[in-house]
Chains A and B, each alone.
Chain A
Amino acid sequence: MPIKTGAGLIEKFGDSILRAIEETGKVTLFVGQFFYWVFRPPFRFRLLFAQLYFIGNKSLFIICLSGAFTGMVLAYQTYFGFKIISVDSLVGPVVAISLARELAPVLSGLIVAGRAGAAMAAQIGTMKVTEQVDALEVMGIDSYQYLALPRIIAGTLSLPMLTIIFLLVGNLGGWLVGTKALMIDETMYFSKLGEFMFLADIYQGVIKSIFFGFSIAVIGTYFGFEVKRGAEGVGKGTNMAVVWGMIFVLISDYFLTSFLIKIL
């Protein structure tokens, strides 16, 4: 086994920095293309609606399921913590605010990254390795405009809607557990909710989800176009789209939170 010298390690480190810079540049250009194409005809609404259906409608079941159980579990955990200090009447607002500000946008984002982000990379990647992307280009159709644009717009529009649905269903779950299983007084539950929760909490989650939806779709389509070398490449691209989509949601959530908390 070759012994790694200090120079070799530095070379490797430098190489990875250069690749990171190159990759950042490519992603920036990729995002730039979105703003170049978004206002340019032809506007293919049929493709957009197909993607809205796929990312939005087809995610509804998993979003409702996750939302309901997240709200229910959150109500249980909060109740047993709060009961110790006799503030169990605050379960409602804690569940609602946690869902609105963090859990609904982040968990919806993670679900969409896993479901739709992966599908975007796999679909475009397969089209790339089977020359379908080249076929579009040879016909004089810009493959970015045809394949990436509708997916990015649909991702940006769908995730806020899914987040709101997650929030509603999550609160329903929280209310169900709080008032029916844990016997918190229903009037108290709603009065505290009205007292402590504001529209700004919902805005914060929705703004985050718009950003997450855009980023997940950009990452999914980017790794689709980056696919090389057959089925193995498609698998790798899909994997990268899911991993980076999720990482991006989690990391950007911190920065968005620290920013939004100051302005909202």
Chain B
Amino acid sequence: MNLDSKDVVISIRNLKKSFGQYSIINDLNFDIKRGSITTILGFSGAGKSTLLKHILGLLRPTSGHVFVNGQDISNLGGVALREFRRNFGMLFQYAALFDSLSAFENVAFPLREFTKDSEAEISRKVKSLLESVNILENSFYKLPSELSGGMRKRVGLARGLALNPDIMLYDEPTTGLDPITTKMVNELIVQTAKNNKQRQMTTIIISHDVKASLAISDFIAFLEHGRIVEYSTASEFAQSKNRIVQEFINL
């Protein structure tokens, strides 16, 4: 798929990653459009999480480059890398909330770390963020262990959005959720993307939920053995002639 270079927010070029003798990502080339919802699908062990970690600079490539907003992050380190990561918000697979902090404190955490906002301002922002993900006030001061799986994900999403990231990443956001909560989380992802459309926030989702991906994504990429074997708009993806993709869709 060809994108205009000014529309590209993430560009991956000839990316290879091996752990010892095991090759996880093989010569991967891939561009992600600014402001889009792009889902990366694939079987377990296809290299999705490894790819995500490269985009975040949590892993260094064995060879190749990852460009984010035109900047090559493959060899970034120290302060530059930490500053670069502030472009991202992330919802982890199991939310990864800090278990010693309440829902409110979890969302306030990045604001306290990276802004000079007063406590009153932080409190206002946190309440607004938690309300935007449908968390009721009586759950604000509950610990993560006291929240349901769906609520934890929503608090994780609010925390990820706290610093108005340019790129929001979702790592298997609906894993382990019941169908109704899955639907709600998917709607929330779309709503969040819509709310941030004006400032062109890009949404990247790692998933193996084909149905939801087809419903909410602008673009879908399919990763197989560390290579992108299909990358197209959601509607084109559904009609893909690729045998593995069809097998995956029809599972």
Contacts from A to B (Cβ < 8 Å): 126-127, 130-132, 134-135, 137-142
Query: What's the nearest-Cβ distance from chain B to residue A126, in Å?
Result: 8
Contact residues of B between 93 and 131, Cβ < 8 Å to A: 93-94, 96-99, 109-110, 113-114
Q: Say yes or no: A139 contacts B85, CB within 8 Å.
A: yes
Give the residues in chain A near B92, CB-CB below 8 Å. Answer: 131, 134-135
- Contact: A138 with B58, CB < 8 Å? yes
Choose from A127, A137, A139, A142 the contact partner of B110 (Cβ within 8 Å). Answer: A139
Partner of A132, one of B85, B90, B98, B113: B98
9 CB-based A-B contacts, threshold 8 Å: A130-B94, A131-B96, A132-B97, A135-B97, A137-B56, A138-B56, A138-B88, A139-B109, A140-B82
Chain B residue contacts of A134, Cβ below 8 A: 58, 92, 96
B83 at the interface (CB under 8 A from A): yes
Chain A residues within 8 Å of B82, by CB: 140-142
A140, B56: Cα distance in complex, Å: 10
Contacts of A130 in B (CB 8 A): 94, 96, 99
Q: Which 4 A-B pairs have the closest CB atoms?
A: A131-B96, A140-B82, A135-B96, A140-B85
Question: Among B58, B90, B96, B113, which residue has its beta carbon within 8 angstroms of that of A141?
Answer: B113
Instruction: Please tell me if B86 contacts chain A, counting CB pairs below 8 Å.
Output: yes
In the complex, the answer to whether B58 meets A131 with C-beta atoms within 8 Å is no
Nearest Cβ on chain A to B163's Cβ, whole angstroms: 8
User: What is the CB-to-nearest-CB distance from B51 to chain A, in angstroms, rounded to a whole number?
Assistant: 15
User: Which residues does B use to contact A, with CB under 8 Å?
Assistant: 56, 58, 82-86, 88, 90, 92-94, 96-99, 109-110, 113-114
B58 and A137 within 8 A (CB): yes
Q: Can you name the residue of chain B whose Cβ is closest to the Cβ of A137?
A: B58
> Contact between B96 and A132 (Cβ–Cβ < 8 Å)?
yes
Within 8 Å CB of A140, what residues of B? 82-86, 114
- Give CA–CA (A139, B94) in the complex, Å: 16
Q: Provide the residues of chain B in CB contact with A135, threshold 8 Å.
A: 90, 92, 96-98
Q: Which of B90, B93, B97 contacts A138 (CB 8 A)?
A: B90
- Within the complex, the shortest CB–CB distance from A172 to chain B, in Å, comes to 37
- Chain B residues with CB under 8 Å of A141's CB are 82, 113
With A138-B88, A139-B86 known, 8 other A-B pairs at CB within 8 A are A132-B96, A132-B97, A132-B98, A134-B96, A138-B56, A138-B90, A139-B110, A140-B85
- Smallest Cβ-Cβ distance to B109: which chain A residue: A139
CA of A217 to CA of B94, assembled, Å: 29
Of the candidates B85, B94, B114, the one whose C-beta lies within 8 Å of that of A137 is B85
Q: B99 contacts A138, CB within 8 Å?
A: no
In whole angstroms, how far apart are the Cα atoms of A147 and B58 in the complex? 18
A140 to B94, CA, bound (A): 20
A139's nearest neighbour on chain B, judged by CB, is B110
- Chain A residues with CB under 8 Å of B56's CB are 137-138
Question: Which residues of chain A are near B90, meaning CB under 8 Å?
Answer: 135, 138
In the complex, how many angstroms separate the beta carbon of A146 from the nearest chain B beta carbon? 9
- The reply to whether B93 and A131 contact each other, CB–CB distance below 8 Å, is yes
CA distance A131 to B58 in the complex (A): 12
Q: Give the complex CA separation of A61 and B187 in angstroms.
A: 53
> A156 to nearest B CB, angstroms?
23
Residue of A nearest to B82 (CB): A140
Cα–Cα distance between A196 and B125 once the two chains are bound (Å) = 66
In chain B, what residue has the closest Cβ to A36? B78
A137 to chain B, nearest CB (A): 6
Q: In the assembled complex, how far is the CB of residue B145 from the closest CB belonging to chain A, in whole angstroms?
A: 11
Cα distance A249–B109 in the bound complex, in angstroms: 37
The chain B residue with its CB closest to the CB of A131 is B96
Taken together as a complex, chains A and B put the C-alpha atoms of A139 and B96 apart, in Å, by 12
- The residue of chain A having its C-beta at the shortest distance from the C-beta of B86 within the complex is A140
Complex: A131 Cα to B52 Cα, angstroms: 14
Whether B94 lies near A131 (C-beta < 8 A) is: yes
Give chain A residues whose Cβ lies under 8 Å from the Cβ of B98: 127, 132, 135
Alpha-carbon separation in the docked complex, A142 to B97 (Å): 17
A229 to B18, CA, bound (A): 20
Q: Shortest distance in angstroms between B77's beta carbon and chain A's nearest beta carbon?
A: 11
Measured between alpha carbons, how far is A197 from B240 in the docked complex, in Å?
Answer: 86
Q: B97: which A residues are within 8 A, CB to CB? A: 132, 135
Q: Is the CB of A132 within 8 A of B99?
A: yes
How far is it, in angstroms, between the C-alpha of A141 and the C-alpha of B58 when the chains are bound?
Answer: 12
